[in-house]
Structure 1
Amino acid sequence: MDFGLSPEQEAIREGVAATCRRFGDDYWREVEAEARFPREFHRAMAEGGWLGITMPAEHGGAGLGVTEAAIMMHAVARSGGGMAAASSIHINMFGPHPIVVHGTAAQQARWIPPLIAGTDQACFGVTEPNAGLDTTSISTFAKKVPGGYRINGRKIWTSTGQVANKILLLTRTVRKEEARRPTEGITLFYTDLDRARIEVQRIPKMGRAAVDSNMVFIDDLFVPEEDRIGEEGRGFSYLLDSLNPERILVAVEGIGIGQDALDRAARYARERVVFGRPIGQNQSIQHPLAERWTALESAYLMAMKAAWLYDRGLPCGAEANAAKLLGGRAGYEACLQAVMTHGGMGYAKEYVVERLLREVMITRIAPVSEQLVLSFIAERVLGQPKSY
């Protein structure tokens, strides 16, 4: 069992970190204050070839696995950019996976190269106000018409909708009450975000102001048939292809943010002198920080195990969900302890940790709640009856 990175993986980590170092705390403070998408960072990552790390080589990508994507996103999240940095490129890592697995050769040739180049930006239209995590209860409907579909409905928490020109859109083509099973009659599209037919309303939120979240209103949007991914009615199964990678990536992002916060807290504890001694000399400061380190390292091992399983085609649902749970919690607890270590200055924007705490909260909430993770593990691993 090898816990080290290969030379190629180490090169990914170092290369991503080098790009990220070009964007310091002042940059991320500025884009948050202006609620402005970090275009310069997005462009730098595209120019470095990082947006295509999991994309097929025949379309200009690196053709690597979720393990390498996790190494990359961990480095991004640990760089100081937090979820603002991670979320600006996150969807490139998992969102297009249904295209890679189920798209036709013509669709892949049309859609993938612009995503790798960063000239196309996609958003993810899945969650709905009245469905939440009950994805089979979505009501956005695609009606078959000559040459394609006409779509009407609403989505919520659609990230990057303000800057995207493409949308990965989950719809119903058979209403739930008319389908043989709840998971049937769901169809997936990747199409232009036509702002004449799609209204995108920004949602004010507690953190990650640089990367927008939105309510999306779809009114009689025509989508050509060639923009449908795979077969009509099988979109739910296609969506599952991206769920475990997303959980793994969110886990390592939460861990990376927590490690960044922990590094800042440890440095502050060494430098801050009170009553004639550095506060880090006090065990009441040392021990909570040390505990946070152990939790972050443990969560990282689970996340990398899940990625290892996924890349080998082995079952990894329990591990991916556990990694998301552990990574989100470990990252949050580390950020909280970092704020507490800074004392009053932890509440000041100057020291960054307050932003990291606000942003790491996302990794506990999305893309799946901790309660559903625990229900999944109880049912699938421990053999308990389904509780919901």
Structure 2
Amino acid sequence: MFARISRLICTRSSSIISTRQPTFRHLKALPTIQQRANHGIAQEYLPSGQPDFTESQRTVREAISKICESFPDEYWLSCDEAKRWPSEFTDAIAKDGWLGICMPSEYGGSELGIADATTMLQTIAESGAGFTGTSAIHMNIFGLAPVVKYGTQEQKERFLPPLIQGKDRACFAVTEPNTGLDTLKLQSLATKNADGSYTLKGSKIWTSTAQRANKVLIIARTTPLDQVTKPSQGLSLFYTDIDRSAVDVKEIPKMGRGAVDTNSLHFEAWQVPERDRIGPEGSGFKSILHGMNAERILLSGEAIGLGFAALRRATRYANERHVFGRPIGKNQGIQHPLAESWVELEAARLMIYQAARMYDGGMETGEYANAAKYAAGEAAWRACERAVMAHGGMGYAKEYHVERYLREVLIPRLAPVSKEMCLNYIGERVLGLPKSY
């Protein structure tokens, strides 16, 4: 299906983001509301008829739901327990070109917007794949936005097609052990050599998929911090091969998302060619800022997808589990928390897609992206916690899957920015309060 969608979309404007929506008049009619309700497990809980979704979003949701039907919760549980990469799923997503959903058509992408990509990732998470499914493809979908915006024509031609086709797998190396969210204090150095190449020395942490990736988007200092007038100066961005003879990649054991690795990177003499630098030397911080709001919107969609998955399972169990001669869902102590979670998730969803539409329309989205990230992370956390509690002791059993959801839902409360930093942004930028950190 996606190949057919791509042919329709490729006639659009050549810019990566467009407010115009593709038409689908050549496709078969979309299912009715009732048919959609029965189509796939990811169709539940959205407002009747999805009134705020465009035709493009509905088509994306239908197609992704169909793919996800082949990967039930049991598949994701087995991957998590065995710490096995979900290769069957990632291959299925790459096969029809979904990794290029946001990329320019001239390189094999589809030029859809962030709203459509968020719909895609929400649907994947909502199918039961959670953050295991979305994290396996997240970087490939939007990680190279800095290359699209700031890369040379040669770099785009060299880097984008293999990523879109799934031949390359990228990871993102920004955070460092001693700096955390204080990105401007990064200490990894990229020293320029006589031939124009760079020697990288330093450490990175929380780099997902580095065990499998062959490419990395990495930021390092080309000018030491004590030699710049502003901390944002002197940082440069590179997209390059992971030279495993020079980079020590160590997996970090963690509580959830066992199938998708997270790693620390250490390098002493990593040689990177000049042609792999993205943008002018010293412009790296500006380059990564370009994608931050989009990343927060995308991850927010993933969060509510997982929240809706938990709510679906909790509601089903509350209807089926009978105690004292009636379903436990008849008790307000069970029913009201689940109802509250639907309200919270739906409110977060509306904010997410408002932010996405603003981003796609070229508007400033900082306040809405951060608010959506906060609302989605908190709503998803409560939904997953309530789902475990609604199951009682069974919620602690792996076969009901909600314990896996709970282990994964901590991710959007911590990354890529903490909920406290979202509140800091809103307090300072929206409410005009003094900077608190």
TM-score by length of 2: 0.88
Which residue number in structure 2 is paired with residue 80 of structure 1? 128
Q: Give, in angstroms, the shift of residue 6 of structure 1.
A: 2.2
| Partners of 1:89 and 1:304 in 2: CA distance | 20
Which residue number in structure 2 is paired with residue 351 of structure 1? 400
In structure 2, the residue matched to 1:331 is 380
What is residue 71 of structure 1 aligned with on the other side?
Answer: 119
3-state secondary structure, aligned to 1:246: helix
In the superposition, the TM-score normalised over structure 1's length comes to 0.98
Residues 340-379 of structure 1: matches in 2 within 5 Å?
340-379=389-428
Q: Alignment partner of 2:211: what SS?
A: coil
Aligned to 1:22: 70
What residue number does 1:215 align with? 264
User: Which position in structure 2 is the counterpart of 1:303?
Assistant: 352
Quote the residue 1:110 is aligned against.
158
1:59 match: 107
- 1:8: Cα distance to partner? 2.2
**In structure 2, distance between residues paired with 1:338 and 1:48:** 34
The aligned counterpart of 1:181 is 230
How many Å separate the matches in 1 of 2:89 and 2:164?
14
Q: CA deviation at 1:30?
A: 1.1
- Residue deviations 1:187-212 (CA, integer Å, cap 9, x gap): 00000011001111000001001000
Q: CA RMSD for the aligned pairs?
A: 0.9
Q: What is the CA distance between 1:3 and its match in structure 2?
A: 4.5
Q: Displacement, 1:298?
A: 0.1
Match of 1:137 in 2: 185
- Give the distance between the partners of 1:166 and 1:218, measured in 2 at CA: 15
Contact 2:56-2:116 within 8 A present in 1 as well: no
Alignment of 1:320 onto 2:384: no
CA–CA separation in structure 2 for the residues paired with 1:258 and 1:247: 16
Answering whether residue 36 of structure 2 is matched by residue 36 of structure 1, we say no
Partner of 1:254: 303
Aligned residue among 166, 169, 184 for 2:215: 166
What is residue 277 of structure 1 aligned with on the other side? 326
Deviations 1:231-258 (CA, angstroms, capped at 9, x unpaired): 0000000000110011001111110000
CA offset digits 1:130-173 (Å, max 9, x no partner): 01000011111000011310101100000001000000011000
Question: Which stretches in structure 1 are left out of the alignment for 5+ residues?
Answer: none
Identity over aligned pairs, percent: 53
Q: Paired residues, what number? A: 387
Question: Counterpart of 1:10 in structure 2: which amino acid?
Answer: R
Task: Find the aligned partners of 1:218 and 1:308 in 2 and give their Cα distance.
Answer: 40
> Which residue number in structure 1 is paired with residue 19 of structure 2?
none
* 1:284-319 CA-partner distances (Å, limit 9, x unpaired): 111110000000000001100110111111111010
* 1:243 counterpart = 2:292: yes
Where does residue 338 of structure 2 map in the other structure? Answer: 289
Q: Aligned residue for 1:123? A: 171
Equivalent position SS for 1:157: strand
Task: Could you tell me which runs of 5 or more consecutive residues in structure 2 were left unpaired when the two chains were aligned.
Answer: 1-49
In structure 1, what residue type is equivalent to 2:290?
Answer: D
Question: Partners in 1 of 2:201 and 2:262 — Cα distance?
Answer: 20
